[in-house]
Amino acid sequence: MSSQALAFTHRFEPGAADLSPLLLLHGTGGDESDLLPLGRAVAPGAALLSPRGPVSENGAPRFFRRLAEGVFDEADLRRRTEDLADFVAAARDRYGLPAPVALGFSNGANIAAAMLMQRPETLAGAVLIRPMVPFAVPPRADLGGRPVLVLSGVMDPIVPVENARRLAAQLTAAGAAVEHRVLPAGHGLSQAEIGLSADWIRTLPRPALA
Ligand code: MLT
């Protein structure tokens, strides 16, 4: 199903009511179709909500502006995080969904991390693939035990493992139940992501049926 009526161009695939929906958040230059195959592979039968990043960087869609690689426009990030969280709330109403688990890659993982800190009620949990610290000074959040899987690459030329460790520590300090795995990988998505994410998602509590 494709839709433009909500504030973000997105794709939605309905799924089983007793599985957490996935909010798929692509990397720079991706779009709303990019992560659908990954979503289907890691959470078979789950509903998939996949927005397109509304910012264009020389034609490459992103979820927020950056000033240089790894240097974020934090005012824009804060505003775009609000917009995305509002979109998720509207899409939940429209499609009758419980809070989703984010599955974000790179730029998508970074806005998912920002949303955990700025609008924690939006997500039931998150898989963050190659994320980095989004805010120099993170907002105070109470993540109330929300499960978060962080997947880093030891050879990632964009995100040093130390940076991902700092993010994991910030999320833990905010009360998330964080598992951080460092893989023998670079910045790109690897096969390992599929198995690790699928195994982790299977351990999540199922949403209460309405
Ligand atoms: C990217 O390539 O998108 C960066 O690694 C992460 C970002 O800019 O959010």
- Please tell me the distance between residue 30's alpha carbon and the centre of ligand 1 in angstroms: 11
Which pLDDT belongs to residue 1? Answer: 56
Q: Which residue has the tokens 């899409």?
A: 91
Atom of ligand 1 nearest to the CA of 109: 9
Domains of the chain: 10-202 (3.40.50.1820)
pLDDT at 76 over 90: yes
pLDDT tens, residue by residue, 120-175: 999 999 999 999 999 999 999 999 999 999 999 999 999 999 999 999 999 999 99
Q: Does residue 34 carry a catalytic annotation? A: no
Q: How far is CA 147 from CA 74, 156, 174, 180, 189, in A?
A: 25, 24, 12, 11, 21
Under DSSP, the state recorded for 58 is T
The residue assigned the tokens 């805010």 is: 135
List strand residue ranges (DSSP E) for the chain, in order. Answer: 2-3, 10-13, 22-25, 48-51, 55-57, 60-62, 66-68, 71-72, 101-105, 125-129, 147-153, 177-183
State the DSSP H helix or E strand holding residue 88, giving kind and residue range, or none if neither: helix 74-95
Is residue 93 predicted with pLDDT exceeding 90?
yes
pLDDT tops 90 at residue 5: no
Ligand 1 mean position, distance from CA 105 (Å):
9
18 is catalytic: no
**pLDDT tens-digit profile of 169-201?**
999 999 999 999 999 999 999 888 899 999 999
